[in-house]
Amino acid sequence: MNKTKIKRLLLSDTPIASLQIRGWVRTRRDAKTFSFIEVNDGSCLSGIQVIAEDSLANYEEVRRLSTGSAVAVSGELRESPGKAQKWEILATRIHIYQFAPEDYPLQKKRHTDEFLRSIGHLRPRTNKYGGVFRIRSEAAHEIHRFFHERDFIYVHTPILTGSDCEGAGELFRATTLEPGDHKEADGKDPYAHDFFGQKTHLTVSGQLEAEMFALALGDVYTFGPTFRAENSNTRRHASEFWMVEPEMAFCDLAENMAFAEAFVRHMVAHVLTRCEEDVGLFARFVDKSLLDTLGNIVEKPFVRISYQAAVDILKKSTATFSYEISYGKDLQTEHERYLAETHFRQPVIVHDYPRQIKPFYMRVNDDEKTVAAMDVIVPGIGEIIGGSQREERADVLETRMAETGMDDSSYWWYMDSRRYGSVPHSGFGLGFERFLMLVTGVTNIRDVIPFPRTPGSIDF
C-alpha cells in the first residue's frame, strides 16, 4: 500500500476505506480500551488523530508510544465524532519504526528559537519551523513559476568566480593551497599556483554573468546561493543566503522598479493564499500585525522617493538615530525602517543614490552626481531588494571602474560586452531570506534558513 500525505487526507470529501500514513507521534492519550495518537508527517501544520483500539495485535507497545516515535498507521479514514477535527483514522495496524526515548528534546511546550537553533537537526519537526520551511519551499517554486510564465530564461550562474560584483571585498576565498603554500611565490602572484591559476572565491552575486545572458537572451534570471564574508552579526545578514536576480535587456530604471514591485506583491499574495494555514500560525504566535502588513503590501502601491527626498524626510524627523544622516552617506537599517514603518507605513522604493556609495556597474545619471539605483524597503526589515539600471556606455563604465578602484583586467569580458550591441538594461536582487522574514514575521534570518551560516557558526 502506498503511503498518503496527511495534507491530502485532510482535504478529502469522502471517507477512505483503506490507507496508510507514516510520520512521527506528537502526543498520545489513553482511554480505557483505546488510545488517541496525534501523528504528524510534515506535509502540513496539522497532524491527524489516530484511534488505536485494544484489539490491535501490538496494543501493549502502542501504549508506550511517546512524542517523537516513528510509526506507519494503516487503517480507515472516517469522520471524527470529536469537534476538534473533521477526519480521523481508525487504525487496523500500527507499525513502530522506533520509539523515541524520554529525553527527546522536543517536548510539548514552547521552546526558544535559541534553543531550537542548538538542535538544528530536530527543529524542522516543530510547528514553527515546519511552517517556515514549507513556506520557503512554496515560495521558491513560485519564483520559478513567476519568471517562467513571463518567458524569462533561467541561467545557472557560477558559484566559483574570479570577480567581485559588489566591489565590497566581502569574499570567501576558494583555494586548494595550504596556508604555507602562499609564501613560495617570491614576488609573483601567489595564486598563480592555485587551482584556477588566480585568486578565486565564492560568488557574492550572479549579476555580472546574468547581464551577459540578458544581452543575448533578453529577459533572464538566476536564483541560487550567494556568499558574503561580512563580519556583521546582525539579525538580517547571513554568510550564505539565496538571491533571486532578474536581469532585463531594453529596460530602464522606471520599468525595473515597476517590475520589482509587481514581483514582491505577487509573491506575498501567493504565500498568503497558498500557505494560509502556516501563515495563520505566524500571525497568531510570531507577529500579531503580520496579516495587516502583508495585506497592505498586496493592496497598496509602493511609495517611490529619491534618495535626496529620503534624506530630507529623515533630517526633518524628530526620531533619534544612532547613525547620523547626511547627503552622501548610505542609509542605515534604522533609517530605512523609519521610512517604511513610521513615516510611510508601507514599502518604499528609494532611487537615484549618490554615485560614491554605489557599485561600479550602476548607470550614471545626467546630473553626474547620482546613479540609477533603487532599493526596495519594507516594514520590519529594511532593504529587501537592491537593483539598478546598468551602465551600458563603455567609456562611462571605464571611468566608474577606475573611480571605484576595480581592477579592470579581471573584468575585461564585462567591459567588452559594452562594445557589441550594448543596450540599456536593468535588474535587481531580492534577498530570499529577507522575503521569508517578511512573510513569516520571523525577526532573525537564522530562523528562515535550514542550516544557517553566520560568523563563528557553522554547526550541522
Binding mask 52-81 for ligand 4AD (x = CB under 6 A): ------------------------------
Judged by beta carbon, residue 44 or residue 238, the one nearer ligand 4AD is 238
How many residues of this chain interact with ligand 4AD, rule: CB under 6 A?
A: 23
For 72, 130, 244, the CA distances from 75, given in Å and listed in that order, are 10, 26, 44
3-state secondary structure of 63: coil
- Please work out, in degrees rounded to the nearest 5, the angle formed at the alpha carbon of residue 432 by the alpha carbons of 428 and 438: 110
The continuous run of DSSP H or E covering 383 comes out as strand 382-389
Of the two residues 41 and 164, which places its CB atom closer to ligand 4AD in the complex?
164
Largest CA distance in the chain: 85
Report if residue 433 touches ligand 4AD, rule: CB under 6 A: yes
Regarding 431 and contact with ligand 4AD (CB under 6 A), the answer is: yes
Task: Give the count of residues interacting with Mg ion (CB under 5 A).
Answer: 1
Residue 272 Cβ vs ligand 4AD, minimum distance, rounded to whole Å: 20
Binding region for ligand 4AD (CB under 6 A) out of 70-78, 87-95, 230-238, 338-346: 230-238
Give the residue from 270, 214, 245, 289 showing the smallest Cα distance to 432: 245
Q: Of 68 and 386, which has the nearer Cβ to Mg ion?
A: 386
Segment near Mg ion (CB under 5 A), from 84-92, 347-355, 383-391, 402-410?
383-391
Amino acid at 64: R
Residue 235: alpha-carbon gap to chain centroid = 13
Please report how close the Cβ of residue 205 comes to Mg ion at its closest, in angstroms: 10
> Which is closer to Mg ion, CB of 139 or CB of 165?
165
The DSSP-derived string for 356-377 is: GGS-TTBPBPTTSSEEEEEEEE
Does the protein bind ligand 4AD through residue 261 (CB under 6 A)? no
Percentage helix, strand, coil for the chain under 3-state DSSP, each rounded to 5: 35, 25, 40
Q: Measure CA 45 to chain center.
A: 20
Q: Which residue has the cell 534604522?
A: 334
Contact status: 424 vs Mg ion (CB under 5 A) = no
SS3 assignment, position 164: coil
From candidates 68, 75, 359, 386, binder to Mg ion by CB under 5 A: 386
Q: How far is the CB of 198 from ligand 4AD (least distance, A)?
A: 22
Q: Nearest Cα to 361, choosing from 165, 185, 176?
A: 165
Binding site for Mg ion (CB under 5 A): 386
Binding site for ligand 4AD (CB under 6 A): 165-166, 205, 207, 228, 230, 237-238, 241, 243, 245, 383-387, 427-429, 431, 433-434, 445
